[in-house]
Amino acid sequence: MEPSSSSPRPRRTFTNFRPRRTEGGVDASHTPARAASHRPERRAGAGSYVPRRASSDARPSRQHTRPIEGGDASRRPYVRKESFAPRKEDGAAAPSGRSIRFVHSEEPRKRVRAQARQRRSTTSPALVQRVATDVRPLAVQPVTDPDLVRIGVVSGAEGIGRNMYFYEDKDNIVIFDCGLQFVSPLHNAPGVNFILPNTQYLEAHKHKIRGMFVTHGHLDHIGGIQFLIERLGYPPIYTQYLTSLLILKRHEEYPHLDPLNIQVIKEGESVTFETGIKVKTFPVTHSIPDAMGVMVETKWGNVVFTGDVRLDHKGEEVVGEEKRYWELVGAQKNLILIADSTNCDRPGFSQPEGVVFENLRKYIRDTKGRLVIGTFASQFDRLTSIINSCLEFGRIIVPEGRSIKTNIDIAIKAGLIKVPAGLIVSAPEADKYPRDKVVILATGAQGEEFAAMSRIATGEHKFFKLDQYDTVLLSSSVIPGNELAVQSLKDKIFRNNSRVVTYQGDNIHASGHGYSGEMNWIRRTVGPKFLMPIHGNHFHLKSHMYAAVQDGFPRENVVVPDNGSVIEIYKGEMLRVLPEKMPNEDLTVDGLSVGLRQEVVLRDRIALSNDGMFVVVASLDTRTGKLRKSPDIISRGFIYLRENQQLLNDARTMVRTQIEESTANSRHIDLDVLRDEVTDALTKFLLQQTNKTPIVIPVIIGF
Ligand SMILES: [Zn+2]
């Protein structure tokens, strides 16, 4: 499918957001301005804990004040190119202003298309994508009043995950993020892989979509793109460079899709669309570089969307550059602040990531013996700081786990780290180094059964086994729902008598989301008229509200949404939540199909997992109404048949009697009726005998 041709090509402008900085004689524009908060070496007053590295040079420079149209191509890292290949240094820039469509490799787009067509015409299972079958008319009508600004919460307000929100006015829709949610036991959806935002409303009005602004590269913000972009008519995606790499990396796994129309924007860049709507971005601090907030300009002030955010601070004093960015946002007229609530149930300010970097650095420097570090692969800042500390202290790194390896590759490609030859070593090679020099960077700190950390702990890993000379750092918090798995992982590690350090024992993990003190600071600095907490469970959102109210913000100006909520502001004054909601039933990814949650299927799965199944096969002579032989029984997950022969015999007799009595009394044999009767009788019989209700499937074949 072609990208939405109805999306007018935007005019790209730059805000004067980032003052060109000079610091110690170095033109700050050579390093990403945001680096100060992400990369330790630029953190004000914190230069001691991580050395300056070559990596800041490795990352291509950004020209903040220069429009994309001009300039020396070799100094422009974010030049958009025709392919998703490592950026070349030859300055082969695409002409500016052109809509660039990334393809998966160097292959010409035509060939990729042809391959996609071929896959479609064969039986590519990836195409078995069910369209949402809900055809009820939408309760919410699109905006037609020019004095109305609307914010739609597609999802992200009733749990952590599948973030997707949008701005709508008379002529435009601008989408913020498109994430997925991992399935937890609470969803009661065995076998479902992910839950997606329900985009039915957006699909119905896709001609109004100008673009999708993606704030950062975490899966709860980008993971839904491949499943939903086609339904939304392939709108252009505006995002920063690292995020674009992460999106494109995922896109490689969905070859049946068209190439994405990704517009890489620079830090602080604005986009003005032909309809006149202007969308501005601003850098924010999170646990991944290139995170940004988004603002949509309206007559009554900006609609400000923070994305995931925390503050860079020293003892709750927000540091210079961070402060300046937010103050620049605050200097504008802001209508509503739509802000992260993930950690708003915690008071004060969160632990700065700099403390974590420093602690990990000490462990890497001082630990005798081998060091195994488990962390989230998505925490790019931490990955890069660990790698830099290893470089500093002459330790080699063995990445274990696909996501860690992939993300290290992406970090190198994005210029976040420079990895000299020999720093990263494969597992079979690690034996050649003294154990004091080895750091294993492993996935699976959440206790995932088959991940590297678990295999190393249980001795199932091909190359590594733990012993009393090893130190294991679990540099991540426990995600709610994973407590038991993490306990079990710790048991396994402790059985090897290794030393274990967790985030509770030492400061080796910090969250990427600000606490309520930070969110209050942001709100005060931005100075919006209205506040809408998002990104979290309902209690997170309400906690955010209470924190704001306690901080002096008027209660009546806070709106706490649910998934599917539509919030409207009339003439910049009157705020209301529509009584109707957009469709918000779970849209699920189940194997290879995408569709509304299928309750019937899920009920069967739950029943099967509880009590198993019981199949009885009988062949019936339709002339005599007698069974040819004793029925066959097959069961799975019910009871152990070998030890329950008597029950089986009784069941066979019961089925035979049931069928033969039934056929004896009727002149015409209806096999469907017979099956129903057998199902009822057998279910009752098995319940009486075993106190279990397996799914009973009678197969009656008439001859
Ligand atoms: Zn995030």
Q: How far apart are CA 284 and CA 505, in angstroms?
A: 29
User: For the whole prediction, is pTM greater than 0.85?
Assistant: no
Q: How many whole angstroms from 409 Cα to the centroid of ligand 1?
A: 20
So where are the chain's domains?
11-71, 109-124+149-348+512-581, 353-502, 598-702
pLDDT the model gives residue 61: 37
Query: What residue ranges of the chain have pLDDT lower than 70?
Result: 1-136
Q: What is the CA radius of gyration of the chain?
A: 29
| 646 CB neighbour count, 10 Å cutoff | 9
Name the DSSP class of 348: S
The C-alpha angle with vertex 402 and arms to 398 and 407, in degrees rounded to 5, equals 80
Residue 282 CA, ligand 1 centroid: distance in Å: 16
What's the 516 CA to ligand 1 centre distance in angstroms? 17
The catalytic residue among 513, 535, 540, 544 is 513
pLDDT in tens, 370-410: 999 998 888 898 999 999 999 999 999 999 999 999 999 99
Cα–Cα–Cα angle for 65, 66, 71, rounded to 5 degrees: 150
The span from the CA of 266 to the CA of 68, in Å, is 9
> What's the gap in Å between 164 CA and the centre of ligand 1?
13
Q: Regarding beta strands 173-176 and 209-213, do their DSSP bridges make them parallel or antiparallel, or are they unpaired? A: parallel
Hunting for tokens 């959102």 — which residue is that? 541
What is residue 321's predicted lDDT score, i.e. its pLDDT? 86
Q: Could you tell me the distance, in angstroms and rounded to a whole number, from the CA of residue 246 to the centre of ligand 1?
A: 13
Please give the distance, rounded to the nearest whole angstrom, from the Cα atom of residue 444 to the centre of ligand 1.
18
For the segment(s) 598-702, the CATH number from 3.50.50.60, 3.10.20.580, 3.40.50.300, 3.40.640.10 is 3.10.20.580
Instruction: Compute, in angstroms, the gap from residue 525 CA to the centroid of ligand 1.
Output: 22
Going from the Cα of 503 to the center of ligand 1, the distance in angstroms, rounded, reads 19
User: How many angstroms does the Cα of residue 547 sit away from the middle of ligand 1?
Assistant: 22
Tokens of 75: 């100094």
Given this model, what pLDDT does residue 565 score? Answer: 96
Query: Tell me, what's the pLDDT at 58?
Result: 37
With the CA atoms of 119, 122, 127 and 131 taken in that order, what torsion angle do they form, in degrees rounded to the nearest 10? 130
30 is catalytic: no
- pLDDT value of residue 114: 53
| Alpha carbon of 291 to ligand 1 centroid (Å) | 8
Give the up-direction half-sphere exposure of residue 576: CA atoms within 13 A in the CB hemisphere: 7
Q: Ligand 1: distance of its center to the CA of 215 in Å?
A: 9
Q: What is the pLDDT of residues 266-308, one digit of tens each?
A: 999 999 999 999 999 999 999 999 999 999 999 999 999 999 9
- pLDDT tens digits, residue range 549-576? 999 999 999 999 999 999 999 999 999 9
Residues in the 5 Å CB sphere of ion ligand 1: 218, 308
Q: What is the architecture of the domain spanning 109-124+149-348+512-581? A: 4-Layer Sandwich (3.60)
Q: Domain 353-502 is of which CATH architecture?
A: 3-Layer(aba) Sandwich (3.40)
User: What's the 161 CA to ligand 1 centre distance in angstroms?
Assistant: 9
**Helix (H, G, I), strand (E, B), or coil: what is residue 326?**
helix
Residue 145 is a catalytic residue: no
Q: If you measure from the C-alpha of residue 221 to the centroid of ligand 1, how many angstroms do you get, rounded to a whole number?
A: 7
pLDDT of residue 11: 55
Q: Measure the CA–CA gap between 489 and 88, rounded to whole angstroms.
A: 43
